[in-house]
Every structure is written in C-alpha cells, then in structure tokens.
Amino acid sequence: MTKKVHNSHRNSIVTQQPQHPLREYRRWLRVSLYMIFLLAGQCTATLLGRLYFDNGGNSKWMATFVQSAGFPVLLPLLFSFQKHTKLPNTLINEPSKTKPKVFILVSLYLAFGLLLAGDNLMYSYGLLYLPLSTYVLLCATQLAFSALFSFFLNSQKFTKLILNSVVLLTISTSLLAINSDDDDSMDHPRDKKLIGFFCTLAASAAYSLFHSLVQLSFEKVIKSKSFSAVLDMQLYPSIVATCACIVGLFASGEWANLGEEMKEYKKGAMSYIMTLCFTAVTYQIFSICMLGLIFEVSSLFSIVMGALELPITPMLAITFFHDKINGVKIIALLIAMWGFLSYMYQHYLDDKKAKAKDNSQVASEGLVEYF
C-alpha cells in the first residue's frame, strides 16, 4: 500500500508544470499585441513616407525628423506606469538592486539617439530614391545583420537554419541590386538609385546594430523589469534624434523650402501636415512595439517579426503607388520569405527544446525531493 502511494506522489511531481499557465498566457498575449501593432505601424509608416515623397515632399531631413518627433505621444504612457511595476522577462535573469548612474544613462541615450538619427536619415534616402517594393525587400536584410550582431553581442547561437536564412536574404538582396537598372517605375537616374540602395542597406545594418545594443543595455546596464524602462529607451533617444534632425534641417538649408513645399504639395497643405503627423505617430507605435519584443524575447526575434512586413508592403505599394513588380522581384521575394521561414523554424525548435529542458529539470528536482 505504501509503495502505491509513493508512486502516485512521484507521478504528480513528474507532471508538474515548470511555469504558471496564466503567467505564460499573459506574456504571449503581450507579445502578440506587440506583433500586431508593430506590423500595423510599420506598414503604415512606410506607406506614408512614400506618400510624402510621391506628392511633392523633397526634404530628406523632414522625412527623418518625423521618424523620431512623435515621442510626445509616449508621455501619457510613461506617466501611467510606475517605476516599480514588474513584468516577467526572459532577457533579465538577475535584476540589479542598484540603479545605473545618471551619467551612464545619459551617455547611453545620447549615443543611441545619434545612431537613430543617422539610421533614419539613410532610410529617408532609400525611400526617396527607390521604389517602395525594392526598398522593403532591402529592409529584409535586417534579419541577416541582426543574426550577425546577435551572435557577437548577445551570444545568439548561429545554427545551420539561421545561416541558411542569412545566405538566402543575401541572395535576395543581390538580385535586387542586379535588377535595379531595369526598374523603370521611378525616374531617378541610376546613380541616385545606387545611393538609395546602399543607404537602405547601411540603414538596415545600423538598425540591427541598434537593437542588439539595446538588448545588451537591458541585460548589462539598465537591469530593470519595469515597462517604463522600455518607454525610457524609446523616449530619450527619440528626443536626442529629434534635436539632431532639427540641427540637420537648419544646417542643410532645407528649412527655408518647407513653406513652399507645403503650398505645392499635390494633395494640399492640410494633407501635407496630416501626412507628417500620422507618419510621426505610426513610427512611434512600431518602434515601442519593437522595443517591447526586445524586452520580452530578444533583438533577433523583434527583427524577424518586423520582417513579416516583407510580403505585405510591396503588395500595398503595387495597389496604392503602382510600383512595378517583375519576375526578378517575385523570385527575390520568395527567396526572402524562404529565409524568413527558415529562421522561424529554428525559433520553433529552440522553443521546443527549452520547454523540454524545463520539464526535465522540474521532473529531476521532484525526484530528488521525493527520495
């Protein structure tokens, strides 16, 4: 009789779950909401940026400015979250009892803000000189760059599937580069298209580096489990980037043409203002959701989720901006999607392996307690 009771107790221990289902459910609910708003904001911001240039907008610094100038919309969120609010997080295993020094935080936000301003400027060149479908496909190289930076900075495992993803995205980008001269959907000369091509490629690399450094900062410097830390990481670098864009706007002399640009905007002055305002808001939406995914999962995961924009925006560009899509672009799109799915399958395997390891650990701890 005693032996039978012991076996029953052992089975109850072995089948114990490693995590509370409600807590895991809430975490993935947050991740799902981040993904939905990220895609909605990213697609809308990209289309509005293209709309600005297609209807007479010509200021690269203004297009850069609105990518960070929407930070005031974050202030109500920042005030509503208290500093002591705790959220479960896979990035930070051992929270620090001491806050980082103010000088370190200021230096961090200043560096990230300047990097963000330069990155946004390069993206503006890409939007100005490239068809939207080509621009979005080039942005898919963020996944390859993110895998590389995550390997060196965040100890990301570089498996065969991730390597396969990087190679496929590289091939996809090469096809677009070869085909750029045959794309007659825009009247920019070849040298302008090449500038847009390399600026977008460099911006994708800088964007991936930014996200890997943000993840490293959460782990090594900030060490906070509050959502306000995510808001701080978006708010203060955005303020720095906005100030840098204002300096660039005046230093370049583009500010003097903004009044005339607004008057000559094809859809009218009110449409000009609304386009810039909505662009600023949507950039903040997808940026804060991107940071939220870094906070909850990893920088590479956030980039991969952003890559879901890849098949959506080119189709919208064909509908709204009449971008031409030829056979080479279709092949590049399919190869890029193959690379994306390759990484997603690797993430599925990693998640499955982690759950099996947790279950095994709980089972072994239960058996030790039993004996």
Pick from 109-118, 222-231, 281-290 the range whose average pLDDT is largest: 109-118
The answer to whether residues 109 and 240 touch, using CB atoms and an 8 Å cutoff, is yes
Confidence at residue 11, expressed as pLDDT on a 0 to 100 scale: 41
Q: What is the pLDDT of residue 366?
A: 60
Enumerate the H helices of 218-257 as residue ranges: 227-251
Instruction: Kindly tell me the burial class for residue 76, based on how many C-beta atoms sit within 10 Å of its own C-beta (0-12, 13-18, 19 or more).
Output: exposed
> pLDDT exceeding 90 applies to what percent of the chain?
31
Average pLDDT in the chain: 79
Q: Would residue 15 count as lying in a domain?
A: no
Q: Is the pLDDT of residue 354 over 60?
A: yes
Band of the pLDDT at 364, cuts 50, 70, 90? low
Number of domains making up the chain:
1
> Mean pLDDT across the stretch 346-353?
76
Task: For residues 117-125, give the mean pLDDT.
Answer: 95
The reply to whether 354 falls in a domain is: no
39-56 pLDDT, tens digit each: 899 889 989 998 999 899
Does any domain span residue 1? no
Is residue 357 in some structural domain? Answer: no
Q: Taking 80 as the threshold, does the pLDDT of residue 219 lie above it?
A: yes
Q: Which residues form the domain of 238?
A: 33-344
Closest residue by Cα to residue 83 from 230, 237, 233, 227: 227
Residue 112: the pLDDT is 96
Per-residue model confidence (pLDDT) at position 259:
93
Domain-located, residue 46: yes
Encode pLDDT of 232-278 as tens digits.
898 999 999 999 999 999 999 999 999 999 999 999 999 999 999 99
What is the spatial distance between Cα 229 and Cα 2, in angstroms, rounded to a whole number? Answer: 53
Tokens 């370049």: give the residue: 252
| Amino acid identity at 311 | P
pLDDT at residue 123 is higher than 50: yes
Is the pLDDT at 161 greater than 70? The verdict is yes
Tell whether 337 is covered by a domain: yes
Confidence of residue 168 (pLDDT cuts 50, 70, 90): confident
In a domain, 358, yes or no: no
b/e code 86-113 from CB counts within 10 Å (16+ = b)? ebebebbeeeeeeeeeeeebeebbeebb
Instruction: Report which of 145, 131, 128 is spatially closest to residue 179, judged by C-alpha positions.
Output: 131
Determine, yes or no, domain membership for 40: yes
